């Protein structure tokens, strides 16, 4: 029976605090200041030819510098039932005065036509203004299923964020995932692509366009009008399994990039023992072939890689990696206007074909700074090829290959060969200091010409204060990276011990700068 006394007792009894309703709006982002300098050996008097008398400057290898600041703001709003919307805006500015606009950095413009000993802008940063809503999507996540449709950043091995400068690359389309227990199934259909040095989405790729700071479409592939080749995107699929105790995992992937390439990829990792050493072994490999209209030519590549690693102390991990791709050779008759130099083993592009003529192309995915061709006594030409074509990581040095160094991977050289890498990684107990030291060796030699490349790397990150449990501060960090890369057989001279006798001292052989160094400094505040 309800009485006045029981009412008073109920009012006097402390009630449990109500559970606060989660805030459906999430806002975060970063401020980033990025300084990048590149030193090319051929920029200084005499450096190109080992300081010999009469040395020449190289107008294609001037030193470069870029310094840009950017603010990135991301917001998500969650609706009941698993639905959400989100977007990201980035503004970057190098404060470079009249050279701050992207239009002043096109080929031949005043801001990129400097001559040694001046310094060129480094447009891989880029060294011009960026203003872009690179994300804008609607998504759903519930019952082990998630989907996101719109402009977005995705994370897959051969098409990912590539966020190693000012902004990540982004894609336009739909990404779907089903994750029941230890299994994961992914599917994506992407229609357009935004490079990391662009503010707009394009119906093209890094191999079929001319993005700022990138090698872009190869000169042996001629296209009407000399512009981008339009490709409507790619399909992606993945099936993966991670053992419940996380002792091992295995994944199979497919990227079908319209009219360019079909990429079949797989990786696996196994933890050998759950002890203080945590030894592991990892494998990777894949096949790829040109497909559809094959707009960048014939592609036929296979890659196999292995990696072993272990904790030598609680805080230091050492790893050794190996990757291998075989060369392929075809005997062909060169298209009209093309020729092959047996002195340099390089294809000569017909300079008279400007603007490019449609239909006149050497339809092969050729290696860079390696032996490309040889003219046979019977008049045919042997073409060397077999490199891995990577439409969304080319020249970004972020390919998932185990031996990828800070400034180069085998995919960036578009060349087959054998490569090795050794690294040691230190993580401090308080997780505020990370330091990586590594060395890579690349052998791109083939039956036509020898070519080797080495690269030494240092990579350090310092986080200024520990992360609080809550609040707007999500970290202030400084990261510094250094790369020292050495090429053999680029120019004939004292630095080159195997140059053909038919070439004069100081001549270009396989192309590229004999010595390349870069310093990359980044200060980032996350909120």
Q: Give the pLDDT confidence score for residue 61 in this predicted structure.
A: 62
Q: Give the pLDDT confidence score for residue 47 in this predicted structure.
A: 43
Domain extent, residue 177, equals: 23-526
Q: Give the pLDDT confidence score for residue 105 in this predicted structure.
A: 87
C-beta pairs of 406-410 under 8 Å, 24+ apart in sequence: 406/455, 406/457, 406/459, 406/481, 406/482, 406/483, 406/518, 406/520, 407/455, 407/483, 407/485, 407/516, 407/518, 408/440, 408/442, 408/453, 408/455, 408/485, 410/303, 410/323, 410/325, 410/442
Q: Does a structural domain hold residue 79?
A: yes
Q: Give the pLDDT confidence score for residue 337 in this predicted structure.
A: 84
Q: Does a structural domain hold residue 197?
A: yes
Q: Is 331 exposed, middle or buried (0-12, 13-18, 19+ CB in 10 A)?
A: exposed
Low-confidence stretches of the chain (pLDDT beneath 50): 1-13, 15, 43-57, 59, 355, 494-495
- Residue 279's CATH number: 2.40.160.10
**Number of domains comprising the chain:** 1
Q: Does a structural domain hold residue 6?
A: no
Q: Does a structural domain hold residue 264?
A: yes
Say whether pTM exceeds 0.95. no
Q: Are 80 and 21 in contact (CB under 8 A)?
A: no
Q: Does a structural domain hold residue 12?
A: no
Q: Does a structural domain hold residue 217?
A: yes
Q: Does a structural domain hold residue 4?
A: no
Q: Give the pLDDT confidence score for residue 370 in this predicted structure.
A: 96
Q: Give the pLDDT confidence score for residue 5 in this predicted structure.
A: 41
Q: Does a structural domain hold residue 7?
A: no
Q: Give the pLDDT confidence score for residue 4 in this predicted structure.
A: 40
Please tell me whether residue 111 adopts helix, strand or coil conformation: helix
Q: Are 514 and 43 in contact (CB under 8 A)?
A: no
């Amino acid at each position: 029976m309800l009485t006045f006394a029981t009412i008073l007792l109920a009012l006097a009894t402390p009630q449990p605090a109500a559970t606060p309703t989660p805030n459906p709006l999430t806002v975060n982002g970063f401020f980033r200041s990025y300084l990048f300098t590149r030193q090319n050996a051929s920029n200084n008097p005499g450096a190109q030819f080992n300081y010999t008398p009469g040395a020449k400057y190289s107008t294609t290898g001037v030193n470069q510098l870029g310094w840009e600041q950017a603010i990135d703001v991301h917001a998500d709003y969650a609706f009941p039932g698993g639905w959400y919307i989100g977007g990201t805006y980035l503004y970057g500015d190098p404060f470079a005065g009249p050279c701050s606009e992207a239009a002043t950095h096109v080929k031949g413009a005043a801001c990129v036509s400097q001559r040694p000993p001046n310094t060129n802008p480094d447009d891989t940063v880029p060294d011009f203004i960026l203003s872009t809503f690179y994300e804008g999507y609607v998504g759903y996540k519930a019952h082990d299923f998630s989907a996101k449709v719109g402009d977005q950043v995705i994370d897959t091995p051969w098409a990912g964020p590539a966020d190693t400068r000012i902004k990540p690359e982004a894609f336009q389309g739909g990404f779907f995932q089903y994750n029941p227990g230890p299994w994961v199934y992914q599917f994506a259909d992407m229609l357009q692509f935004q490079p990391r040095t662009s503010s707009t989405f394009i119906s093209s790729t890094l191999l079929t366009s001319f993005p700022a700071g990138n090698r872009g479409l190869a000169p042996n592939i001629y296209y009407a009008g000399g512009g981008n080749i339009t490709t409507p995107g790619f399909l992606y699929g993945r099936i993966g399994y991670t053992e419940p105790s996380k002792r091992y995992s295995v994944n199979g992937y497919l990227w079908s990039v319209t009219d360019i390439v079909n990429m079949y990829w797989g990786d696996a990792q196994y933890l050998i023992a759950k002890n203080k050493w945590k030894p592991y072994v990892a494998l990777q490999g894949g096949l790829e072939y040109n497909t559809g209209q094959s707009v960048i030519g014939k592609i036929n590549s296979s890659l196999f890689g292995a990696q072993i690693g272990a904790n030598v102390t609680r805080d230091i991990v050492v790893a050794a990696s190996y990757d291998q791709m075989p060369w392929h050779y075809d005997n062909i008759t060169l298209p009209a206007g093309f020729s092959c130099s047996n002195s340099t083993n390089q294809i000569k592009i017909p300079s008279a074909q400007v603007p490019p003529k449609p239909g006149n192309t050497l339809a092969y995915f050729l290696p860079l700074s390696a032996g490309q061709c040889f003219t046979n006594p019977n008049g045919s030409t042997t073409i060397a090829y077999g490199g891995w074509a990577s439409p969304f990581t080319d020249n970004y040095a972020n390919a998932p290959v185990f031996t990828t160094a800070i400034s180069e991977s085998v995919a960036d050289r578009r060349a087959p060969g054998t490569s090795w890498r050794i690294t040691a990684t230190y993580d401090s107990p308080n997780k505020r200091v990370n330091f990586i030291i590594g060395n890579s060796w690349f052998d791109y030699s083939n039956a036509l010409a020898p070519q080797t490349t080495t690269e030494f790397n240092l990579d350090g990150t310092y986080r200024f204060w520990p992360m609080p449990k809550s609040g707007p501060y999500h970290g202030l960090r400084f990261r510094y990276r250094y790369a020292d890369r050495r090429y053999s057989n680029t120019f004939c001279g004292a630095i080159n011990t195997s140059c053909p006798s038919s070439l004069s001292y100081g001549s270009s052989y396989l192309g590229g700068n004999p010595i390349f160094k870069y310093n990359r400094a980044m200060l980032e505040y996350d909120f």
